[in-house]
Amino acid sequence: MTQTLLRGKDWIETPDWTKEELETVLDCSSELKRMFALGMPHRLLQDKTLFMMFFEQSTRTRNSTEAGMTQLGGHAHDLTPDKMQISHGETPKDTGKVLSRYGHGIAIRNCFYGMGNKYIREVAEHATIPIVNLQCDVDHPCQAIADLMTVREKFGTNSKGLKMTVAWTYAPSYARPLSVPQGLAWLMPRFGIDLTIAYPKEFYLMPHTMEAARKFAAESGSTVKVVHDMDEAFRGADVVYPKSWGCHQYLFDQGVPEDQKKPQGMALLNKYKDWICDERRMALAAKHAVYMHPLPADRGSEVTDAVIDGPQSIVFDEAENRLHTVKAIMALTMGGRP
């Protein structure tokens, strides 16, 4: 751990943080995980308040963040637009300024395509307390850092040369955000992990995220590869991360009208129902390979029960680490050294 002065820093996208700062988050996450396991009090944010603003539903993010604030000695307000004046047009600027007067941190989930990241950054521009991105349309940094922690727990902290596959899967809903695969594309190559991303040709990611991923790979000596064959992507992988996402960028680039995006998106989605993680595909990966998913997984569409409930699945270890990493992020940004 070499960088510890993180008080007041926003957690919006992982590229905003240096590798040293990310290592500090991982170190603190591991320490807080040990303390949680031992039942040791760690009230690092005693009497502090976090405002959680959710524009979408959540299980892991909402509960890990709220439980984390309680365990750190603080309190989290669970807010949705209908509980606030956002529903009546209050601006991100005014929301950020007002909540800054009442507490010590603001955490936001807003995944609306083309809007979420902009909204969070506008709140951050005017707030005087740290902002935590609980997922937007561009990045899911809380998920990505928990995933990295989980990979390092299973394979060691020297992840150089580890082969990870992030593969698109079919699911009955086209509208899932791009932020999970994009977050992985940004973070994993910085730690030396060779990343393969597989998807049908219409389900590509935002161009600027892939440009940044390739830049990070060049700096660390890792690789980023894109393929359009799920079997090819699985062959020899140490970590497989099959997950559904929408064709948002394709529909945007094609100029599809808003009212046509859902039917056209569903038509594209239904072309690829065979993109599922099953036992046959798991057998293509390395014998020691692990299966990861951010959850909720669409059983029977994204993955078979035999895989997600099988011995190679580490999805619940991964889900648990959402708690420890978000606690580290909050403790470092809302507490820490003055």
Residue 5 lies in a domain: no
pTM score: 0.96
| DSSP string for 231-277 | HHHHTT-SEEEEE----HHHHHHTT--HHHHHHHHHHHHGGGTT--B
CATH of the domain at 75: 3.40.50.1370
Residue 41 lies in a domain: yes
Give 164's DSSP letter: E
Max CA distance (Å), the chain:
55
Q: Are residues 149 and 59 in the same domain?
A: no
Residue 6 lies in a domain: no
∠ CA 235-174-169, rounded to 5°: 15
Q: Are residues 146 and 132 in the same domain?
A: no
Beta-carbon contacts of 297 under 8 Å, excluding residues fewer than 6 positions away, are 243, 303, 308, 315
Residue 8 lies in a domain: no
Phi, psi of 105 (to 5 degrees): -170, 150
Give the Cα separation of 262 and 266 in Å (integer): 6
Which domain does 80 fall in, by range? 14-139+321-334
Please tell me the predicted confidence (pLDDT) of residue 88. 81
∠ CA 33-183-314, rounded to 5°: 45
Residue 232 lies in a domain: yes
Q: How far is CA 259 from CA 40, 169, 248, 251, 265, in A?
A: 53, 24, 13, 11, 11
Token code pair at residue 104: 């010590």
Give the Cα separation of 168 and 230 in Å (integer): 8
Give the Cα separation of 56 and 80 in Å (integer): 8
Please tell me the predicted confidence (pLDDT) of residue 336. 77
Please tell me the predicted confidence (pLDDT) of residue 5. 86
The one-letter code for the residue type at 9 is K
Please tell me the predicted confidence (pLDDT) of residue 86. 84
Query: In the chain, what is the straight-line distance between the N-terminal and C-terminal CA atoms, in Å?
Result: 18
Q: Are residues 278 and 326 in the same domain?
A: no
Please tell me the predicted confidence (pLDDT) of residue 83. 83
Contacts of 224-227 with CB under 8 Å at 24 or more apart are 224/185, 224/189, 224/194, 224/195, 224/197, 225/194, 225/195, 225/196, 225/197, 226/196, 226/197, 226/198, 226/199, 227/196, 227/197, 227/198
Give the Cα separation of 330 and 105 in Å (integer): 8
Residue 34 lies in a domain: yes
∠ CA 212-188-200, rounded to 5°: 70
pLDDT 10s per residue in the chain (338 long)?
Answer: 566 789 999 999 999 999 999 999 999 999 999 999 999 999 999 999 999 999 988 899 999 999 999 999 999 999 988 888 887 888 999 999 999 999 999 999 999 999 999 999 999 999 999 999 999 999 999 999 999 999 999 999 999 999 999 999 999 976 899 999 999 999 999 999 999 999 999 999 999 999 999 999 999 999 999 999 999 999 999 999 999 999 999 999 999 999 999 999 999 999 999 999 999 999 999 999 999 999 999 999 999 999 999 999 999 999 999 999 999 999 999 997 76
Q: Are residues 119 and 253 in the same domain?
A: no
